[in-house]
Amino acid sequence: MLTADRVVSGTDVLQLLARCRQGDRVATSRLLSLVSRGSQSDRALVSRELAAGEVPSAITLGITGPPGVGKSTLTSALIAELRGRDKRVGVIAVDPSSPVTGGAVLGDRIRMAAHGADPGVFVRSLSSDGHLGGLVRSASLAARVMGACGYDVVIIETVGVGQSEVDIAQIAETVMLVLAPGAGDSIQAQKAGVLEIADIYVVNKADLDGARATVADLREMLLLNRPSDGWRPSILQTVAGTGQGVADLVTALFSHHEACVSDGELAVRRHRRSLYETRSVIDAVLAEQLAGVDVGEAEDPYAAADASLRMLGRRLLDEGVGAVLG
């Protein structure tokens, strides 16, 4: 992997961005390395230049669902379909459960299937460094970077349906939940989770027995849970391996995006993502700070806490998001 040299100024970031937009993959890789492995001030610098500049932003699609339903294959099929419509596609493959390898494997799988040589496709893996807040923060900024680099659609794919995947899905503007036939039980089990936040439901492996029953289960669940106005979630069937149903899926994605633009929901979701990213930056700074706080030897825990909190306060006041240790 490419090791990023340090950027030292906003000008460096702007130069990198300009090169990215001309299709310079080395520059893109370097910029994304700054996001995922750089210092907090590197990230803050990248974020500032994105916010200040007139940069394009991508349609972001979050894909989640239980392991084994074929999310990676479906992602590859979506890439192929989007490329056929002349869209440039960025992929962020996120594995919160893996410190390094899992995420990389996931990314590699997609990369191979999607013809790594295609200049219109860029795949980046993000794995957990043990701090979920850091992952949400990185994924959100990476998606903005890919948008600024000129990718039309950014797919954020997660490996499962745990709370962390739900959190990550919520930084996307359109959320796709992938299930496989016979997922009735897992639908029940997940009813308080990601099921309710998806905009598009996909029953993949629709050539297997039980696809219709799963669709019916989903339809019933949506009738029970959904408000009567606004976007009515789609339920689609695909066979990712053959591409069956994938064109309809891409059409549903664009339909949802256009519905969001016209009813103002897109602005709401982008604002929500911004708040979410802000919160995760705050959490990450505080977590790093707290790990380094020496709570001392005082007899009185409240006095010790008081001293530590004032020390922390001084540091935050002086340095803000730059208040990261060592």
- Residues lying near a copy of itself in the complex (CB under 8 A): 43-44, 47-48, 50-52, 140-141, 271, 274-275, 277-279, 281-283, 285-286, 290, 293, 295-310, 312-318, 320-323
Q: How far apart are CA 168 and CA 137, in angstroms?
A: 9
Quote the strand ranges of the chain, DSSP E: 59-64, 89-95, 121-127, 153-158, 174-179, 200-203, 234-237
Q: Which is nearer to a copy of itself, 258 or 306 (CB)?
A: 306
**Tokens read off for 54:** 């007139």
Q: How far apart are CA 185 and CA 54, in angstroms?
A: 47
CB of residue 283 vs a copy of itself: minimum separation in angstroms? 8
Q: Which is nearer to a copy of itself, 55 or 104 (CB)?
A: 55
Q: Which is nearer to a copy of itself, 86 or 297 (CB)?
A: 297
Q: Which is nearer to a copy of itself, 227 or 326 (CB)?
A: 326
CB 239 within 8 A of CB 205: yes
* Strands across the sheet containing 121-127: 121-127, 89-95, 153-158, 59-64, 174-179, 200-203, 234-237
Q: How far apart are CA 211 and CA 94, in angstroms?
A: 27
Q: Which is nearer to a copy of itself, 43 or 257 (CB)?
A: 43
CB of residue 43 vs a copy of itself: minimum separation in angstroms? 7
**Tokens read off for 182:** 């016979």
Q: Is 98 helix (H, G, I), strand (E, B) or coil?
A: coil
**Tokens read off for 324:** 């990261």
Q: Which is nearer to a copy of itself, 208 or 298 (CB)?
A: 298
CB 198 within 8 A of CB 226: no
Q: How far apart are CA 296 and CA 227, in angstroms?
A: 53
CB 129 within 8 A of CB 46: no
CB of residue 237 vs a copy of itself: minimum separation in angstroms? 37
CB of residue 9 vs a copy of itself: minimum separation in angstroms? 16
CB of residue 294 vs a copy of itself: minimum separation in angstroms? 10
CB of residue 310 vs a copy of itself: minimum separation in angstroms? 5
Q: Which is nearer to a copy of itself, 87 or 137 (CB)?
A: 137
CB 141 within 8 A of CB 154: no
CB of residue 197 vs a copy of itself: minimum separation in angstroms? 20
